[in-house]
Amino acid sequence: MRILKGGIVAPDGFYASGVHCGLKKKKLDLALIYSEVKCNASAMFTKNIVKGNPIIVCKEALIDGKAQAIIINSGNANTCTGEDGLIKAHYMTELVAKAMELDKVDVLVASTGVIGVPLDVSLIEDSIETLKEGLSRTGNINAREAIMTTDLIHKEVAVSINIFGKEVKIGAMAKGSGMIEPNMATMLAFITTDINIENSLLNSALNIAVNKSFNLISVDGDSSTNDSVFIMANGLAKNEIIDSENDYYFEFVDALTYVCVELSKLIASDGEGATKLIECRVLGCKNELEGINIAKAVIKSSLVKTAIFGSDANWGRILCAMGYSGIEFIENKVKLAFESSRGYIEVFKEGIPIEFDETKAKEILKDDDISIIIDLNMGNEKAVAWGCDLSYEYIRINGDYRS
């Protein structure tokens, strides 16, 4: 697997653009992804009962498993906006269909931003021609900006692999920084690939990758109304079609998982107010699911998050979070350690605190990429989840922005 530049336009035949239409004051707020041929397409959406109108539109449009373009706006989630909002989400796909001469059902739509404010769709209508004209093989640069809300960094990844002797590329971009929670987040992710693959296998590959990545991150425990992960495969790599779960399928799954994990870590480390990425690795589990539940409880704990913010090796809070995760374990078998690029330190073993060098622990925890390592000593499985610390800045962004 090779790492590429170019994000969503790295794969052959994909074009993107991003413009400012006026939903935000100054920043880019409208993006388009377009494939020169029709794609096999799949998506996964939020499990929140309250769903954004764009999701309702996309679910219908994806019944045939095909798509050729995605329009995305930031600055307004078009959620809890009633029948009017649904009509406008449909209208966004119609605008693109007309401009690009596509069938309406081959256009997908995603929105992110404030909930409950009527969408001024005329701003999008007025910008659709500029958006179309901007489509290019370097359009990832504007598109990745246009989908951002409180994100501080843009998030994109691209890789290539060899499938049946052909170079197959996968590109992706994502946004997301608050309302981030396992089972996705106010997180939008868009994945493009030129692989030639059957639709059902594209769908199962996406499922596997999402469960090993986006579903393992948490910023603040709030699972959003608009979370969506899209994938479009246009087949232009011209590899022999993947129509069974052969070795190449699993190679594709691995590469797709890599792409999704990298985006997930970017999202977690860019969590609202985050100063540190926290990885929780659980070793020695009886099974992976139990490990995931423990890891999620730890990265979601406000007390663990604030301790890491303060570079404080307060391992009691980790044990406490493990204890309410709902998973059985034996306290006297547990080992706890912290690790970063600055070193490794064990703090608890076999039911007893280890006397450790607090200065060294603090130094390790001052890094901006912290691993919490839990060994349950109960089996041979392992699991991981990612989150971020909880800082003053999270409060300012979410509680103080109007005052």
Query: Binding-site residues for substrate, please?
Result: 149, 175, 186, 272, 398, 403
329/337 Cα distance (integer angstroms)? 17
Closer by beta carbon to a second copy, 180 or else 260? 180
Where are the extended beta strands (E) located within 164-320?
A: 166-175, 188-193, 217-218, 228-233, 277-285
Cα 17 to Cα 71: distance, rounded to the nearest angstrom: 10
234 CB neighbour count, 10 Å cutoff: 23
CA torsion 303→309→313→315, rounded to 10°?
20
Shortest Å distance, C-beta 80 to a second copy: 6
Known catalytic residues?
A: 186
Closest approach, Cβ 81 to a second copy, in A, equals: 7
Distances (CA, A) of 382 to 286, 294, 331: 8, 11, 18
Q: How far is the CB of 366 from a second copy (least distance, A)?
A: 10
Toward a second copy, which CB reaches closer, 380 or 403? 403
For a second copy, the closer of residues 173 and 292 by Cβ is 292
Q: Give which of 284, 336, 366 is closest to 345, Cα–Cα.
A: 336
Minimum CB distance to a second copy smaller for 4 or for 397: 397
Could you tell me the smallest distance in angstroms from the CB atom of residue 346 to a second copy? 13
Q: Is 397 exposed, middle or buried (0-12, 13-18, 19+ CB in 10 A)?
A: middle
Residues that bind a second copy (CB under 8 A): 47-51, 77, 79-83, 114-118, 178-179, 181, 183, 220-225, 300-303, 305-312, 315-317, 319-324, 328-329, 331, 348, 351-353, 389-392, 394-396, 398-403
Instruction: Report the binding-site residues.
Output: 149, 175, 186, 272, 398, 403
